A and B are shown apart, each in its own frame.
Chain A
Amino acid sequence: EPEVTQTPSHQVTQMGQEVILRCVPISNHLYFYWYRQILGQKVEFLVSFYNNEISEKSEIFDDQFSVERPDGSNFTLKIRSTKLEDSAMYFCASIPGTMNTEAFFGQGTRLTVV
């Protein structure tokens, strides 16, 4: 069964450093997403990506964040100059391109900023 894969599963970084979270969406899917879940809180939408560009972003997704699909398979989230409050679980997801299906989520990357 196809699945969304995320690497690494856990990353620890020093405050102020840049991190790149990686995702491989399901191959024939068209929409890609990043979500964030701060410990003990709800899952929050960050950004959606379609046709090689951002289609929507939340107010959380400020200039510190960027996304890229560098090679047609990987989908990355870059966080520049990390802050303590960026510590969270980050989920990647994809959907085929129609809305009557669930988003397929990866297992997440736990980012810890120290």
Chain B
Amino acid sequence: AQSVTQLGSHVSVSEGALVLLRCNYSSSVPPYLFWYVQYPNQGLQLLLKYTSAATLVKGINGFEAEFKKSETSFHLTKPSAHMSDAAEYFCAVIENTGGFKTIFGAGTRLFVKA
């Protein structure tokens, strides 16, 4: 079975600082990994996805993530945080058996301080 683990339920950064949200995956086969963002009282928006084409994946709003097989990681980064980045971020993996369901991590809430 595949799974993802997000380290840190809350992360707080100052505006302009680096954002680093951590995600580790567990998979016996090459995974398909995703990051979603959820703003308060809203739905899930796809930030970026890794589908084995390139290890460094660029997404929307200046976010990117690097797939590191040796570390089983898929951390999300942004060089300079904006106040508008405050949201909940979910790492996710598609299970490659049966019905291809999406398995979500527990989420990391990002706070951005002025």
Contact = CB atoms under 8 A, between A and B. Distances in A.
Interface of A: 31, 33, 35, 41-45, 48, 50, 55-56, 91, 93, 95, 99-103, 105-108, 110
Contact of B103 (A41, A45, A91): A45
A42 B90 contact: yes
| Chain A contact surface mostly | strand
B101 to A, nearest CB: 5
B84 interface: no
Contact of B46 (A45, A50, A91, A102): A102
Contact of B51 (A43, A55, A91, A101): A101
Nearest to A99: B100
8 closest A-B pairs by CB: A48-B99, A107-B43, A55-B99, A43-B104, A56-B99, A105-B44, A100-B51, A99-B100
A107 B49 CA distance: 19
Contact of B101 (A41, A48, A105): A48
B99 A31 contact: yes
A33 B92 CA distance: 15
A66 to B, nearest CB: 17
Contact of A42 (B34, B100, B106): B106
B32 A45 contact: no
Interface string B33-50: 010000001111010010
Given A42-B90, A102-B34, A50 B44 contact: no
B101, B102, B103, B107 interface centre (most CB from chain A within 10 Å): B101
A103 to B, nearest CB: 5
A110 B42 CA distance: 10
Contacts of B34: 102
A14 to B, nearest CB: 23
